[in-house]
Amino acid sequence: MVRPDSANVSERSEQPPSLAISTVIFALRPSESSGRPTLWLPLVRRIRQPYLGQWALPGGPLAHSESLQDAAARNLLDTTGLAPKYLEQLYAFGGLHRSVGHRLVSIVYWALVQPDEAELTRESTNVQWFRADRLEALAFDHNEIVDYALWRLRNKMEYGSIAYHFLGERFTLAQVREVYEAVLDRQLDPANFRRQLRSAPHIQETDEYLQGTRHRPPRLYRYTGPAPLYGANQQSKQPAEGLNESELRRVP
Amino acid sequence: MVRPDSANVSERSEQPPSLAISTVIFALRPSESSGRPTLWLPLVRRIRQPYLGQWALPGGPLAHSESLQDAAARNLLDTTGLAPKYLEQLYAFGGLHRSVGHRLVSIVYWALVQPDEAELTRESTNVQWFRADRLEALAFDHNEIVDYALWRLRNKMEYGSIAYHFLGERFTLAQVREVYEAVLDRQLDPANFRRQLRSAPHIQETDEYLQGTRHRPPRLYRYTGPAPLYGANQQSKQPAEGLNESELRRVP
DNA sequence: ACAAAAGTGTTTGGCTTACACCCATGG
DNA sequence: CCATGGGTGTAAGCCAAACACTTTTGT
């Protein structure tokens, strides 16, 4: 079983690195304190070694009959009950000491879910939502992974049409602004923001207005662009990192 | 060996997917026809099945003692003799039918090398440079991978400080412009381009001038920014996809 | 009537673009 | 002294930031 050129290495460390798929899922939920929307993500408690009892990103091994993205989606459904419409590859993490006792390579995806979808999470003692900016120490290198996903989310928010995936089918322009403000953590000028959105592609105005506010009823809009999950290519050619087409220039 | 829930599946397809690291390497070399710089990349001929005899990206399995990036760098050195200063993760490819006879997941890196480095390639009947825009049918899904790497390169060129990695330690601003023109495949205004570069960060003018031209000697500059290879984090937080900081705004 | 947010208009400054022009060298 | 590309100047035009102002609802 041990190959000749490595007879002096223990058999365990000769086994190929194991490959897992994990996902960082973001949703906006009202803050307990201020009530304003903030970023949350669901975590799963480890029920085996290593890191038994600690919180971790949902994930699992790659089944041989699934593509990477299918594996991410299925695993999410199995562990949390979520089925995000936005799902995209984030990065492959393969450091030598990410786990203890074995070599682990994780291909990590990231996802966005709408608030009503998020409510359907099968929460339990082992599955819970946490505020993204107040995480305890997670299993493996998952804190670093979340940080990277947050960086990517903010980056992509600045020049991609991504904010709509946090919202339902119809939304007001002010709701889109609140998404930007929550993710980027700064105030934006309502007047200029609205102008930019109206001139952005894939934003369609409807004939409907949101009723029940204690002021002038805002018009509802619809997003007509594609969700990356069903895109033709696995690698949605939209830069985060890279780099994506500048559909929306800069956010005020 | 075969688990109960998959007794009807052949044993071979039960083996875990194999994991490989490959790299797309870009360099600028003078075109045979026009002499102007164009994009080239080195390929390696397959010496075993599958795809025996076809050209493929340099790559190989992941050794258990190497990080992903180290594996990419070492493999590059082994197969081509190249040691790029710029090396960054591109994407993880894991489609079901990328290879024949087994399930293969490839974590792909991309690299940039300077012309003088490129000359040191150990070329042979099994290692050769090809023009990036005139590739034959490659092994596996490597044509798609090269296309994606090209897209990422162009994308990142537009708002990242990446062009310098195609050049030596000192260079003229016109040489930088030629890099942009070669990669983006369009002409740029020399006057405006030079102004943008001079106001860009990490561009330091030297006291030296390039001699031997048949016109006014251009000043030489130096790039003082970091090369991602030695960056602290594996994932260089520069968007390509992401998303990246806009160090250089837009190219004229 | 008033508060509050939706929605419109207008000014300003910065930055890109286009292009005219001068500079320094080799032949 | 001419050709060639290096390098500078500058006006036009576009776009985003700032902010004043009008509109439409609920209470």
B92 and A103: CB-CB below 8 Å? no
Q: Where in chain A are the domains?
A: 4-155, 161-230
Domain A4-155 has CATH 3.30.420.40: no
Please state, for a pLDDT cut of 70, what percent of chain B lies above it: 85
Q: What is the pLDDT of residue A33?
A: 83
Torsion of CA A111, A116, A118, A121, to 10 degrees: -130
At B114-138, the pLDDT tens digits run 999 999 999 999 999 999 999 999 9
Q: What is the CATH number of domain B161-230?
A: 1.10.10.10
The answer to whether B159 contacts chain A (CB < 8 Å) is yes
Name the one residue in this structure whose structure tokens are 């029920």: A47
| Residue A222 predicted with pLDDT over 60 | yes
Rounded to whole angstroms, how far apart are CA atoms B16 and B9? 13
Nearest to B134 by CA among B52, B24, B40, B23: B40
At A114-164, the pLDDT tens digits run 999 999 999 999 999 999 999 999 999 999 999 999 999 999 999 889 999
Q: What is the pLDDT of residue A32?
A: 85
Please state, for a pLDDT cut of 90, what percent of chain B lies above it: 79
A67 and B96: CB-CB below 8 Å? yes
Over residues B10-25, the mean pLDDT reads 81
Rounded to whole angstroms, how far apart are CA atoms A149 and A133? 12
* Distance of B20 CA from C23 C1′ (whole Å): 56
Which residues of chain A have a CB within 8 Å of the CB of B234? 93, 95
Q: Which helix (H) or strand (E) holds B73?
A: helix B68-80
CATH number for the B15-155 domain, one of 1.10.8.100, 3.40.190.10, 3.90.79.10, 1.10.10.10?
Answer: 3.90.79.10
DSSP tag of B185: T
How does the average pLDDT of chain B come out, rounded?
Answer: 87
Nearest to B92 by CA among A38, A173, A88, A121: A88
Helical ranges in B109-218 per DSSP H: 115-119, 142-158, 173-184, 190-199
At A153-178, the pLDDT tens digits run 999 999 889 999 999 999 999 999 99
Q: What is the pLDDT of residue B16?
A: 87
Identity of the highest mean pLDDT range in A224-228, B76-80, B227-231: B76-80
Residues 6+ apart with CB under 8 A from B95: A67, A234, B141
| Residue B231 predicted with pLDDT over 50 | no
Over residues B218-241, the mean pLDDT reads 69
Angstrom distances, CA of residue B46 to CA of A137, B49, B77: 45, 7, 17
